[in-house]
Amino acid sequence: MTECAPAISEVGVYPISEDTLLLARFVERAAPVRVAVEVGCGSGLVTSELARRSEYTLGIDISEQAALTAKSRTVALPNVDVVISDKLSAIRSGSVDLVVSNPPYLPCDYCSEPLWCGGATGVEFSEELVAQASEILRKEGSLVILASSLSSIEKLLKCAERSLGKVVIEEEYRIGLFETLFIFHAQKTLPRDDAIPEEVLRSEGEGGEQGLRPPCIQQRLERRWDTPAQPGSRLVDSTAGRRGGGLPPPPSGRHSVRGDERETRQGPR
């Protein structure tokens, strides 16, 4: 799918839709973390919610128009940067606590309709994201990703289990008669030799630039916008998110998926 990336940079902005609002409401309830990243930040709505739950938030989109839109929505938030990049390819290893994404998930050609199409089975884009997340997440860090019943859910679950470890279906949301949306929470529990640096963004090629945040983006990053702190801007509690995990343990009534085993934790509705 990456071969068509140059053309994709010209696409528009994914509109705020039911899936956007579902993910934003979920993020509102997430436990605080140090560093959060949204892949496919689009309108910037979910990135704005992440900023309230993290010390530092990075919004990523491959579309310049989407990145500018997200930047305009988050311009008053001094703990947010928005960059143009392809998924998590610009993020250094072991530097992020939480990755959130509402990726394109319909089973159709990604290059022809990148706002909606996730590949032949609908999960190819998401599988690439899972693989990258396994490298850039800290130990016990979390990937929260939205998926559709119209795509190959089982294929995506197995990919996340192999790459990260524990996978939980946090929420299900019915759309019309034929589609259900799922929010998956995959936690990095598999042993890996991750370097866990204090910095988030890489400094090579950017260290001399004035006003940059503590380094986290690699040189291949195409562009970034930096937001200076403004008087009266909202700030995230600096004491939040010191633990490794991104989200609290799932409460009763949610579906836990581990390997081939699936169980429903019964609880009051």
Write out pLDDT tens, residues 235-266: 222 233 322 333 433 333 333 333 333 333 33
SS3 8: helix
What is the set of domains in the chain, with CATH numbers?
Answer: 2-264 (3.40.50.150)
Residue 110's pLDDT is: 82
| Phi, then psi, of 51 in degrees rounded to 5 | -60, -25
Task: For residue 101, give both structure tokens.
Answer: 């994404």
Write out pLDDT tens, residues 73-125: 999 999 999 999 889 988 999 999 999 999 999 888 888 788 888 899 999 99
Percent of the chain exceeding pLDDT 70 equals 67
Instruction: Flag whether pLDDT at 40 surpasses 50.
Output: yes
Residue 253's pLDDT is: 38
- 118-144 in b/e form (b: 16+ CB < 10 A) is bbebbbbbbbbbbbbbbbbbbbbbbbb
Count of residues in the chain? 269
The secondary structure element, H or E, covering residue 187 is strand 179-188
Beta strand 33-39 pairing with 96-101 = parallel
Instruction: Flag whether pLDDT at 61 surpasses 70.
Output: yes
Residue 114's pLDDT is: 85
Task: For residue 222, give both structure tokens.
Answer: 């195409």
pTM for this predicted structure: 0.71
Give the up-direction half-sphere exposure of residue 5: CA atoms within 13 A in the CB hemisphere: 12
Instruction: Flag whether pLDDT at 15 surpasses 60.
Output: yes
Higher-scoring residue by pLDDT: 242, 20:
20
Instruction: Flag whether pLDDT at 28 surpasses 80.
Output: yes
Q: What is the dihedral of CA 20, 21, 24, 26, to 10 degrees?
A: -110
Write out pLDDT tens, residues 188-222: 987 654 433 444 544 433 333 333 233 333 332 33
Residue 10's pLDDT is: 59
